[in-house]
Structure 1
Amino acid sequence: MADTVKFELVSPERRVASMQVSAVRIPATDGDLTAMANHTPLITTLRPGVLHAEGPDGTVEFVVTGGFAEIGVEGISVLAEESHSREEMTQDKLDRMIEEAARKHNEAKGNFENEPGPVDDAAKLLSDMMAMGDHIGLDPKQPNF
């Protein structure tokens, strides 16, 4: 298949996916990007979101919470901090992810009293996590900031 490329998605615990794809839509920190065969090589960071892998058998979706994506000559590799197939996502998993992001936000507010950068970054992480939950049809319980 000349128009496909090898795609690997791994998290620290396991290999989540390994397949031939025609395109991968990646939730990058600076905005979504679509990688295909012969894409210019690059490395980008991930934000919490839904990664879409389009292959010969259709599109498969994965929830990622952050990490890195490397698009190279040999293929597309994504190392996610945490990743689950869309079918594996439950309300309990989303609640745990949001609680962890809220904890990090509160911790940043306590540790960086007069430094808005880290607090803003933690607030963005929490906001992205809640938006991801909403996007996949789960209830992102709105914690108090």
Structure 2
Amino acid sequence: MAATITVDIVAPDQTLWSGTARSVSAPTVEGSIGLLAQHEPVLAVLRAGSVAVVGEDGARTEVAIEGGFLSFDQDKVTIVADAGSGLAAYE
């Protein structure tokens, strides 16, 4: 069984995505970042773009954001988005 991470993507008025995942990739102001279990702790400023989450079942979900912050520590990703504008799921 692949190691998983806990993911919470929130905007000021709603939860955009929450659950466990195999990986997360996000657009930071310094470039894209990819996160897997046991990644070093990181705090990053996000730019507008799409956060991609690969769930435990392998399904890919993308969440459009307008910017915000990302925190990763102890296999938990928290993304606080300035605003979320959409959700798309891919098999």
* TM-score, scaled relative to structure 1: 0.57
TM-fit CA distance, 1:38? 0.5
Q: Which of the two has greater strand per residue?
A: 2
Asked if structure 1 preserves the Cα contact closer than 8 Å seen for 2:42 and 2:73, the reply is: yes
SS, match of residue 86 in structure 1: strand
Deviation at 1:56, TM superposition (A): 2.1
Could you say which residue in structure 1 is the equivalent of 2:82?
A: 81
**Secondary structure at 2:69 match in 1:** strand
Per-residue CA deviations over 1:33-80 (Å, capped at 9, x if unaligned) read: 101110100100000001100012310000011000001114000000
Deviations 1:59-114 (A, max 9, x none): 00000110000011140000000013334xxxxxxxxxxxxxxxxxxxxxxxxxxx
Asked whether 1:27 is paired with 2:27, we answer yes
Specify the alignment match of 1:65 in structure 2. 66
Give yes or no for contact 2:2–2:22 (8 Å, CA) kept in 1.
no
Q: Please tell me whether the aligned partners of residues 50 and 63 of structure 1 are also in contact (alpha carbons under 8 angstroms).
A: yes
Q: What does 1:11-26 correspond to in 2, within 5 Å?
A: 11-26=11-26
For the pair shown, the structure with the greater C-alpha radius of gyration is 1
CA contact (8 A) 2:9 2:16 kept: yes
The equivalent of 1:56 in structure 2 is: 56
Counterpart Cα distance in 2 of 1:60 and 1:29: 21
1:41: which partner in 2?
Answer: 41
The residue number in structure 1 matching 2:7 is 7
Unpaired runs of at least 5, structure 1? 88-145
Q: Which has the higher helix share?
A: 1
| Equivalent-residue separation in structure 2 for 1:2 and 1:73 (angstroms) | 16
Q: Give % identity.
A: 25
SS of the aligned residue for 1:22 comes to: strand
SS in 1 for 2:52: strand
SS of equivalent to 1:40: coil
Question: Does structure 1 conserve the Cα–Cα contact (< 8 Å) formed by 2:6 and 2:76?
Answer: yes
